Amino acid sequence: MAAKDTGSLRALRRTNSERMLSALMEHGALHRAELARICGVSRTTVSTIVADLITGGVVIEVVGEQVARAGIDASEVDGRARGFLRANPSAGAAAGLDFTLERVWCHLADLSGGTLASDGVRVGRDTPWQERLAAGLALLDDLLEQTGRGRGNLVGVAIGVPGPIDLQTGVVGPSLPGQAWAGVNVAAEFGRRIDVPVLVENNTRLEAVAEFTWGAGRDVRDVLYLGLSTGIGSGLLVDGNLHHGGARGGGGEIGHLSADSNGEPCPCGNRGCLVQYASLQAVLAALAPVLGADAGLDELLAAAADGQPDTLRVLRDAGELTGRVLANICNLLNPERIIVGGELARAGDLILDPIRATLRRTAMSLTRDVDVVAAELDLGARAGASGAAALVLRQTDQLVAALLSAPDRQPNEAV
């Protein structure tokens, strides 16, 4: 029985250690009393565990630092306990890789979430997944070298790819035509080439994590992110936790909710899907007679800025249909904020205003006042890669154990 009790105490200690480190990474510098309150443990537990984390180099004590998030100067705190704790930025690094149709981006973050390096390379649309994988690893190694680090400093890597990831098999499902990663177990393939924990997620959901962590969602807990791009995807964070896509990973496909049950057939098998009306490709196709068959995002935005009537009408129609779909989602999920990203979000209020107006007209009264805002971060792969690095810091199992310099030692059993 004593051995069982000892094992339970060690497990509880590990859980408390992870909880404290997570709190420090999320909130920044904290006083011990504040850390105890956030984690729901006693000050004795905090002191005992923090001593180990400081010894292992995972946590550092900062004296006299102004705590920016709360506007508290350490000099104002009781003189007996002026030390603030924070995650040691140099204790490890998290890497995020994001793959879009024509770009690979890598983002390196330190343990406090600060950017160490971020860069991308272009790839051809028809580049096979094996070459994309090699390009991603080469970019990762280059950034690690630039920052004086190696793969041994990584606590994990998260990979963003288009399409749904089957949560049972780990295989990427089909999304856009010609998707290079379809049918590939991305985590397994990267795991054969890099000896660190590997996470794989849909890249729109990683954009949601990025906006929640560093962008337009950083001051709320329940966020729905909508990406209006070549396709239309979404990411949902509930109480700060990413929803990974349901039973098989197929959740979040807002683009394939029907906006018109009598509409044209969609390749997904449905009719009148939102993606057929409100994606970048759909908007450009509707405006081809006006802007030309070869027009792209720049021409669209220029026409909108000039007040071209057809362009304004198509954007308004796309926003209204999107708002109608979002109203149903708000009735179901009641998010605190909706963040609209992707290329079409660059049209600003020309598409956001009809979304807001339609949502508030058609959602029920309890959910219609949701805040609808534009994404703040860069588009596409850059945002996805930073979200991937944030996901590593949020979800890598046993992060403390991976960071401690001597994880096999037997510390004091107090919890």
**Phi (first) and psi of residue 385, to 5 degrees:** -70, -40
Six-digit token string for 190: 């990267």
Asked if pLDDT for residue 400 goes beyond 60, the answer is yes
- pLDDT digit string (tens) for 94-145? 999 999 888 999 999 998 888 999 999 999 989 999 999 999 999 999 999 9
Q: What is the pLDDT of residue 101?
A: 85
Pairing mode, if any, of strands 337-341 and 223-228? parallel
Pairing mode, if any, of strands 154-161 and 93-99? parallel
Mean of the per-residue pLDDT values for the chain? 86
Alpha-carbon span 111 to 385, nearest angstrom: 16
Q: What is the pLDDT of residue 295?
A: 94
Q: Side chain identity at 216, as an amino acid letter?
A: A
Alpha-carbon span 95 to 198, nearest angstrom: 10
DSSP state of 152: G
Question: Lowest mean pLDDT: which of 2-16, 23-37, 189-203?
Answer: 2-16
Alpha-carbon span 274 to 232, nearest angstrom: 8
Q: What is the pLDDT of residue 64?
A: 56
Three-state secondary structure string covering 265-293: ECCCCCECECHHHHCHHHHHHHCHHHHCC
What domains, with CATH codes, occur in the chain?
A: 9-87 (1.10.10.10), 93-207+381-405 (3.30.420.40), 219-374 (3.30.420.40)
- What percentage of the chain reaches a pLDDT higher than 90? 53
- pLDDT digit string (tens) for 295-314? 999 999 999 999 999 999 99
* Number of neighbouring beta carbons within 10 Å of residue 367: 19
Q: How confident is the model at residue 58 (pLDDT cuts 50, 70, 90)?
A: confident
Which helix (H) or strand (E) is 5 found in, with range? helix 2-27
SS3 call for 315: helix
Q: How confident is the model at residue 89 (pLDDT cuts 50, 70, 90)?
A: confident
Question: Lowest mean pLDDT: which of 178-182, 203-207, 410-414?
Answer: 410-414
- pLDDT digit string (tens) for 354-363? 999 999 999 9
Alpha-carbon span 39 to 47, nearest angstrom: 13
Helices within 179-279 (DSSP H only): 186-191, 203-214, 275-278
SS3 call for 244: coil
Q: Of 87 and 63, which is predicted with more confidence?
A: 87
97: closest CA among 206, 250, 213?
Answer: 206
Question: Lowest mean pLDDT: which of 52-56, 388-392, 403-407?
Answer: 403-407
Q: What is the pLDDT of residue 167?
A: 83
* Number of neighbouring beta carbons within 10 Å of residue 128: 12
Alpha-carbon span 295 to 314, nearest angstrom: 15
Which whole number is the average pLDDT over 39-50? 89
Alpha-carbon span 359 to 319, nearest angstrom: 10
- pLDDT digit string (tens) for 97-111? 999 888 999 999 998
Six-digit token string for 216: 């337009």
Six-digit token string for 325: 């779909």
Alpha-carbon span 125 to 43, nearest angstrom: 55
Q: What is the pLDDT of residue 267?
A: 83
C-alpha dihedral sign at 356, 361, 362, 366: positive
